Structure 1
Amino acid sequence: MGPLWPGHRGPGWRQQLASAWSLLQQEEYVHLSLLQGLSHHVLPVLGSCGHFYAVEYLAAGSPRHSALFPLGRAAPRGGRAQARAISHIALSFLDMVSHFDRDFSHRLHLCDVKPENFAIRSDFTVVAIDVDMAFFEPKMKEILEQNCTGDEDCNFFDCFSRCDLRVNRCGAQRVNSNLQVICDKIFRHWFSSTLKSSAVSFQLRLQLQQAVRECTDPEGSAGSWRAAPSVFWKLRRLLQAALKELQEAEK
């Protein structure tokens, strides 16, 4: 990198070069830097020092929270306020799914979906705060295409492929999706039971429960391993209906 170093070669240029090189070895830093200014669903890099870098601080989610994420003043007592916050957050998750699927040159795959890897801004925007296990499509194919003796050998955390037993190789294409995993790891906690909240009508809660089940287990409902695109729009429509219902109840 020495001959390509664009800066003035002052007294500290070798240290600056070493710092830049050490940062570039960290895949998460590279991802965050590449997405800087392109996505409000990832953390901005605020600065760096040596091989350390600083990002915006947001409190991570946790299964210990009843809503998976600390809602603070947004829902101090649960009830309608919590239901409204969850609906906003769920819609932001859907926005993130669409954004990562469509808005870059290659699809961005999330292979480690859990509350601890996300945070919520005060406006309920979902932010991926740990992208160590996020991969663009070319890298995802490279990771998945491995030797196998069965489908279980083709599972890379939350990103699944299938084993072609004719050649004992995993397919390069991921067979599940970000949406499917988020439905399983996040939405199911909120919408798996019609009894969890009385803030939204029973009929709407039942429809949300069924939509999340369809999203999580598409093989059982539609005969396909990957969640159908229609379930995305169904979830979006139902969540918007829930918000409208909650707003009308407050009038």
Structure 2
Amino acid sequence: MNSVSCYSFKNTKRVKFKAEWKGTQIVFKSPVETTPFHWYEHGKKVYPSEKQFLTALRAVVKNKLNLNIPVNTLMRTMKKNIHSRNFDVFSQEEIDSMSTLVQDNEFLVLTFFSGNDIFPRLVGTCGSYYATEYVEPIQVKSSLLALTDNVKDWIWRLQISTQILELLKKLETDFQEPIHLCDIQMEHFGTYQQDESLRYLDLNQLYSRTIINKFFRNVSCQTDEDCDFFDCRSKCSLQTKTCAHGVTNNNFQVVCEKLFLGWRRSNTVIVPGLLLSQHTPSDLAEVVRQCANPENEVGKPRKSPDGNVIKRMYELIVEIEQTFVSRTSL
């Protein structure tokens, strides 16, 4: 390993640092708090049988990702990730390591949702630590100066916006059910250096629709505001006093509201988003507002935008980008 440096620290991870290995930058992470799969009887540590352990692993994957993984596939996948040479039996050390790792939402997503070019690649594990490829977070000028950006900056904003919409489309269609990002921030998107494709980096609050719907239906409420889980929102049922409707907004609505329009207070834009600029035509501004708040709700919007609105917005962004690129090439 050529070098090691601190990357960033968050409450969602106990350790997080960046290293360079054979010319490749990787990030090491470890879950915060987990429940061990072993227990104590008369002061002696007791481990589950292999059958009990695999049953527990399957339950965790089902509860977190809504995936039914066959036992043989589960064992093969986990053994591969921990680089075990013995594929016939789990050691106590492996049980401890895997019981920690599988309780981490990000590790599970990278393990079972790999191969789609949406998330960083899982490089491997070492005990309860796991390593992912490093993807550079997107940095955007967040100030009123963005309203007077130059043409080059505006083209870049348009290009990033189309990439974000394409990634969100994959989350809607490339899995057995739509995937919801419940904590969307600009820096949670990153550019993969090898091909400059866009990846989503923070997977701690990523859930399939079934899982987030199940979460909401167990939440008691008095008002709609009680039905907020980060950026995922539901509505309060007056009959049951629970968030019985499940998640009612989607990734497109959140991105339009938070990233494309920008940070708002009392319906006034304080920090402009990607698609607010002196170059923004009125038809694009209007369709972005329709995406961000389809029903002109007061307070936080809770309605998902219509698919035709998303399609129209994407087409407009691409058309405007091509127009400005053509101008700069003259």
Counterpart in 1 of 2:323?
245
1:96 matches 2:174: no
Please tell me the residue identity of whatever aligns with 1:3: E
TM-score if structure 2 supplies the norm length? 0.63
1:25 matches 2:107: no
Ranked by relative contact order (alpha carbons within 8 Å, sequence separation 6 or more), the top structure is 1
Range that drifts further, 115-124 or 81-90: 115-124
Counterpart in 2 of 1:139?
211
Counterpart in 2 of 1:232?
310
TM-score if structure 1 supplies the norm length? 0.82
Which of 123, 126, 131 is equivalent to 1:54?
131
Could you say if the C-alpha distance between residues 67 and 41 of structure 1 is closer, same or farther in structure 2, counting changes exceeding 3 Å?
Answer: farther
- Segments of 5+ residues of structure 1 without an aligned counterpart are 69-77, 198-203
Identity %, equivalent residues: 24
2:99 & 2:240 partners in 1: Cα distance? Answer: 40
Q: How far off its partner does 1:125 sit? A: 2.6
Write 1 or 2 for the structure with the bigger share of helix.
1
Counterpart in 2 of 1:85?
156
1:81 & 1:46 partners in 2: Cα distance? Answer: 35
Partner of 1:218, secondary structure, is coil
Counterpart in 2 of 1:211?
287
Q: How far off its partner does 1:2 sit? A: 4.7
- Segments of 5+ residues of structure 2 without an aligned counterpart are 1-47, 52-74, 77-84, 144-148, 262-272
Counterpart in 2 of 1:105?
176
Could you say if the C-alpha distance between residues 50 and 225 of structure 1 is closer, same or farther in structure 2, counting changes exceeding 3 Å?
Answer: same
Partner of 1:93, secondary structure, is helix
2:231 & 2:211 partners in 1: Cα distance? Answer: 15
Contact 1:88 1:124 (C-alpha < 8 Å) held by counterparts: no
Q: How far off its partner does 1:172 sit? A: 4.0
Q: How far off its partner does 1:100 sit? A: 0.7
Give the aligned CA root-mean-square deviation in angstroms. 2.7
Larger Rg: 2
Contact 1:41 1:127 (C-alpha < 8 Å) held by counterparts: yes
Aligned length: 230
